[in-house]
C-alpha cells in the first residue's frame, strides 16, 4: 500500500513531487532518460500515463503527447514492459500509472492489474471511472495489492468526497479547479478553502494537481497537501529544453 510509504516520505522530505510523463512520447528511450533525471532531481513519485486516443481530462499539451505516442505505435504491453524495467532501475521511487478505462478494459482488467503489480507500479489513476462503475476493477486492485486512486473535484459535494474516499487507496488525486489539465491554477483563498474541504473528507494523502507550474505554487500548498503533481509544465519544459530543463526545474522546487 502506498499510503504508509507516502506519509513516511512526507515526514522526511516535506511536500512530495509527482511529475507526469506520457509513455512512448517522444520514445521509450527518452522516457527512461527523463525518469532518471527526474528522480535525480528530487521526484518522489512518477506518474506514467499510458496513452489513449481520447484523454478527456487532459489539456492540449498532454493530449498532443498522447497522440504522438500512439502514432509511434505505443501499446499497453510495451508500457507494462517498460514500467517493469524502470521500476527495477529506481526501486526507491514510487511509480503510478494514469490512463483511461478503455485501456485496462480492452487488455483485460485482471490481467492488466496483475501485470501492473508485477511491474512494481503501486497505484492506478483512471479519471473516467467512478466507483459505481468500477466493481470489477476495484475487486482486482484490492485482491492484487494495487491501489485504486480516485479523484476529488471542485464540483463534488462533501458527501460525494467522503464516498469516494471509502474506495480509494494510497492517496487521493485532488483537482485544483474546473476544466482540463494545463491551465495555471491561481493558488488563492478559494483554493485553500477547497483543500480544507478535501482534507476534511479523507485520511489518505492528498496529491494536488491541475495547473501547478512554478515554485510559488508548490510553496503555497506545501503545508496543506502531501504531493504536488506537475504535468503540463514538465512536458513543455522537456519539449523546449530537454531533460536538463526538467531536472533544473525540479531541483529549484526543492530549494
**What tens-digit pLDDT sequence spans the chain (255 residues)?**
899 999 999 999 999 999 999 999 999 999 999 999 999 999 999 999 999 998 887 888 999 999 999 999 999 999 999 999 999 999 999 999 999 999 999 999 999 999 999 999 999 999 999 999 999 999 999 999 999 999 999 999 999 999 999 999 999 999 975 444 444 445 556 888 999 999 999 999 999 987 788 898 899 999 999 999 999 999 999 999 999 999 999 999 987
Q: Please count the structural domains in the chain.
A: 1
CATH of the domain at 114: 3.20.20.70
In a domain, 157, yes or no: no
Q: What are the grid coordinates assigned to 85, written together?
A: 524495467
In a domain, 155, yes or no: no
Tell me if 65 is assigned to some domain. Answer: yes
Cα–Cα distance for residue pair 67/72, rounded to 1 Å: 9
Task: Find how far residue 32's CA is from the centre of its chain.
Answer: 17
Query: 29, 54, 58, 92: which one is catalytic?
Result: 58
Domain that holds residue 32: 2-148+218-253
Is 3 exposed, middle or buried, given 0-12, 13-18 or 19+ CB atoms closer than 10 A?
A: middle
162 within domain boundaries: no
Q: Is the Cβ–Cβ distance between 234 and 43 less than 8 Å?
A: no
The residue annotated as part of the active site, out of 3, 8, 30, 47, is: 47
In a domain, 231, yes or no: yes
C-alpha cell at 243: 531533460
Residues 6+ positions from 83 with CB-CB distance below 8 Å: 23, 48, 95, 97, 116, 119, 120, 121
Task: With respect to residue 12, please indicate whether it lies within any of the assigned structural domains.
Answer: yes
**Which one, of 192, 233, 194, 244, lies nearest residue 211 by Cα?**
233
Judge whether 166 lies within some domain.
no
Cβ pair 98, 48 in contact under 8 A? yes
Q: Is residue 183 part of a domain?
A: no
Say whether 159 is catalytic: no
- Running DSSP on this structure, what letter comes out for residue 73? T
Is residue 89 annotated as part of the catalytic site, yes or no?
no
Of 32, 64, 18, nearest to 230 by C-alpha is: 18
Amino acid at each position: 500500500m502506498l499510503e504508509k510509504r507516502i506519509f513516511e516520505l512526507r515526514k522526511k522530505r516535506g511536500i512530495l513531487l509527482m511529475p507526469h510523463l506520457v509513455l512512448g512520447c517522444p520514445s521509450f528511450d527518452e522516457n527512461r532518460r527523463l525518469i532518471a533525471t527526474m528522480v535525480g532531481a528530487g521526484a518522489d513519485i512518477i506518474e506514467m500515463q499510458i496513452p489513449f486516443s481520447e484523454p478527456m481530462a487532459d489539456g492540449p499539451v498532454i493530449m498532443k503527447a498522447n497522440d504522438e505516442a500512439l502514432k509511434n505505435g505505443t501499446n499497453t504491453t510495451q508500457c507494462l514492459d517498460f514500467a517493469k524495467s524502470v521500476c527495477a532501475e529506481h526501486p526507491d521511487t514510487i511509480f503510478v500509472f494514469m490512463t483511461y478505462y478503455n485501456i485496462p478494459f480492452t487488455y483485460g482488467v485482471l490481467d492488466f492489474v496483475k501485470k501492473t503489480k508485477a511491474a512494481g507500479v503501486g497505484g492506478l489513476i483512471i479519471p473516467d471511472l467512478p466507483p459505481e462503475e468500477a466493481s470489477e476493477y476495484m475487486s482486482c486492485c484490492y485482491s492484487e495489492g494495487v491501489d485504486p486512486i480516485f479523484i476529488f473535484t471542485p464540483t463534488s459535494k462533501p458527501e460525494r468526497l467522503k464516498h469516494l474516499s471509502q474506495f480509494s487507496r494510497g492517496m487521493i488525486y485532488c483537482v485544483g479547479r474546473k476544466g482540463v489539465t494545463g491551465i495555471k491554477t491561481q493558488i488563492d483563498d478559494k483554493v485553500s478553502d477547497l483543500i480544507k474541504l478535501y482534507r476534511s473528507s479523507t485520511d489518505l494523502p492528498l496529491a494536488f494537481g491541475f495547473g501547478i507550474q512554478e515554485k510559488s505554487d508548490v510553496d503555497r500548498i506545501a503545508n496543506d497537501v502531501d504531493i504536488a503533481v506537475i504535468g503540463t509544465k514538465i512536458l513543455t519544459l522537456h519539449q523546449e529544453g530537454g531533460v536538463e530543463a526538467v531536472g533544473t526545474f525540479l531541483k529549484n522546487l526543492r530549494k
